[in-house]
Amino acid sequence: MSPALFRTKNDKSKMSRKFYITTPIYYVNAHPHIGHAYTTIACDTIARRQRLLGAETFFLTGTDEHGQKIERAAQAAGKTPQEYADEISAEFRQLWKRMGISNDDFIRTTEDRHKKRVQELFRHIRDNGYIYKGTYTGQYCVSDELYVDGAQPGDPCPTCGRITETVHEENYFFKLTAFQQKLLELYANPDFIRPETRRNEVISFVRSGLRDLSISRSTFTWGIPVPDDPGHVIYVWLDALANYITAIGYGSSHAAAQETFRKFWPADVQMIGKEIVRFHCVYWPAFLMAAGLAVPKAIVAHGWLLFEESKMSKSRGNIVRTETILDVLGADALRYFLLREVVFGQDGSFSFDALVQRHNADLANGLGNLASRTLTMINRYFKGEVPYPSHAASRTAADDAIAHTARKAIREFTALFDQFQFSRALETAWALVAAVDKYIVENEPWALGEKQDEESRSRLATVLYTAAEALRVVTALAHPVIPDATAKIWAQMGLGDIKKLALNDLTWGQLPLSTKLGDVQPVFPRADKSAIERMQKMEDERRSAPMTEATAAGADTTMPTPASSLPASTRPAPEQKISIDDFAKVELRVGVVKVAERVPKSDKLLRLEVDIGVEVRQVVAGIAEAYAPETLVGRKVVIVANLAPRKLRGLESNGMIVAASLEDGKPVLAGFLEDVPVGARLK
């Protein structure tokens, strides 16, 4: 890590140092889930720490709203792309607000400021001679908005596996080939792409040879028009990547915006998920070089959050909503879990069990318990004022060991955190919590408190001072990660507003003596098994809900939802047609219900065994509020037989029962007037 990136020690320049950090901008074809929250939380934590270190910090996030994928998702939802983007973009903004994310701006690619500035960037690159017109014939993956070199018609996308579409268009091309050498020189800087594995992948990709990149499309209109040639829209990835500079004033004619751009660009950290490394590490620096602009200092790629062993994503249907966790445990629990549990850079699994376990072990029983027992004893034995520790000569080795562990925690936390090793950084800080817990147990302040002799009083004062000072150190270090709880602990310690903390100066022994404690309250109530069940239930019921506007709108663009199963309000506009081949991908079959029973502890779910002629399938359906299980046995239903299996409440569901979804959300099962054989295909 170059010391210039994170000057944390003896940073005399303080406010003169700037820090600019960005998240990817999220597509608006999916509702926010904890995969998105993961990146946003990691960036928020870094931004908060940088502010405490005295850097003038700019933290940017936003939404990516153009392109064919969004246009199609909007059509499927029966909305204009703008209406559709407005709704989902607002969901992201509201969620970040509810979580207390400290972003300084939120950019939407459909905003005027962005559109004008992207056109300016396009002109700039064109004027520099790096754009030409040509003809593109090849395969395109709409889901990834990616040109797939070397693919033949009908081939799947190597990234997501969906079938690519053939594109034959006159396009504008970007001379990516002109930058091959310059990019390789850029990668010689080991800080530019992290971690190392991603850097190696990018180097070998670029070494294997680049091709010029098509950067406009003319077969749809949902995008930013190419300057002077409005029949073309700018390729969505050029449009999207540019957000990192348009948001801070690039291309603006206003002096203040230009000044902001000069101050903050280049970005210090651009954080992304590992699936978009190529766009950020190859195309993005090449676009910038072509425009004569500086490249970012570091592109940092993290791994994926997995749920039930695969990447959490809308198209797999295995997402976990952030709101569920906020409702039950709060934002700090999620923040701590994601940064502590996932080794940054690698994939990590999410489960409600692990979340609650971490919450209880590290937050409720760990930091929370340390705070409440220490502060409660200061209240009880010293009338709520931080006591004076005894002078050095009468201190024990155990007291000094805590001071030593705290100093080590400050040092190691700083080094690890600045290398993005959040999990190990938190581990060091929590080693201090464990050491103090042990120290308290061994020194028995409650027993000392019962005695009135001077020696016991003085020992008690030292033990409680030491515990409180260690608590202050952990609270300061952990503040960027768990801002709400630590702000409360800080106030309970009588230290005022934690935002005023100068993290550069954090050392052992600064807790002011005689500080008057504030009102002491528990900060992390312990969660029990019912917390897991509540979260599980909330998620299962959302997933098993019969098709509603939200699920239809989020439908996979390469496997359109059959129009017949959409409620009237979401029927595709008449001009949007799917081919018979698209429809044929959905395997609808007649089945007969053999077994139906309630799923324990769920109001909405039924477990069905459905015979579809060739086999009996277990299906978990969200129809319990509309159908008593016994009325279903022997009934013929329509089942989507080729849906990927998913787990609901621990039960594998192998298919989906087709139902009409009425205004009140009540499902009505599809059926037949004539008798139909089991297993018959609907086509």
Interacting residues toward ligand MSP by CB under 6 A: 24-27, 35-36, 38-39, 64, 240-241, 243, 272-273, 276, 304-305, 311-313
* Residue 238 Cβ vs ligand MSP, minimum distance, rounded to whole Å: 10
For residues 242 and 118, is the Cβ–Cβ distance under 8 A?
yes
* Residue 64 Cβ vs ligand MSP, minimum distance, rounded to whole Å: 3
Question: Residue 100 — left, alpha, or beta (φ > 0 → left; ψ -120 to 50 → alpha)?
Answer: left
Task: Please report where in the chains the tokens 């109530």 appear, as a residue.
Answer: 525
Helix (H, G, I), strand (E, B) or coil at 220: coil
Which pair of tokens denotes residue 385?
């004022």
Q: Please, which residue, 64 or 71, has the CB nearer to ligand MSP? A: 64
The stretches of 131-282 forming alpha helices (DSSP H) are 180-187, 196-207, 236-241, 243-246, 255-264, 277-278
Q: Are strands 146-148 and 105-108 parallel, antiparallel or unpaired?
A: unpaired
From first CA to last CA, the distance across the chain in angstroms is 59
Q: CA of 554: how far to CAs of 127, 448, 474, 544, in Å?
A: 39, 62, 42, 14
Q: Please, which residue, 39 or 570, has the CB nearer to ligand MSP? A: 39
> In sequence order, which residues have a C-beta less than 8 Å from that of residue 202 and are 6 or more positions away?
187, 193, 277, 278, 281, 282
Q: Please, which residue, 164 or 243, has the CB nearer to ligand MSP? A: 243
* Residue 547 Cβ vs ligand MSP, minimum distance, rounded to whole Å: 22
* Residue 280 Cβ vs ligand MSP, minimum distance, rounded to whole Å: 7
Q: Please, which residue, 17 or 36, has the CB nearer to ligand MSP? A: 36
For residues 234 and 125, is the Cβ–Cβ distance under 8 A?
no
Q: Please, which residue, 272 or 657, has the CB nearer to ligand MSP? A: 272
Q: Please, which residue, 312 or 493, has the CB nearer to ligand MSP? A: 312
Number of Cβ within 10 Å of residue 120's Cβ equals: 19
Q: CA of 13: how far to CAs of 4, 7, 10, 267, in Å?
A: 12, 9, 9, 19
Q: Which residues pair with 306 in a beta bridge?
A: 311, 349
* Residue 187 Cβ vs ligand MSP, minimum distance, rounded to whole Å: 20
Q: Please, which residue, 187 or 237, has the CB nearer to ligand MSP? A: 237
Q: Please, which residue, 35 or 296, has the CB nearer to ligand MSP? A: 35
* Residue 520 Cβ vs ligand MSP, minimum distance, rounded to whole Å: 38
* Residue 611 Cβ vs ligand MSP, minimum distance, rounded to whole Å: 36
* Residue 86 Cβ vs ligand MSP, minimum distance, rounded to whole Å: 17
Q: Is the torsion defined by CA of 386, 391, 394, 396 positive or negative?
A: positive
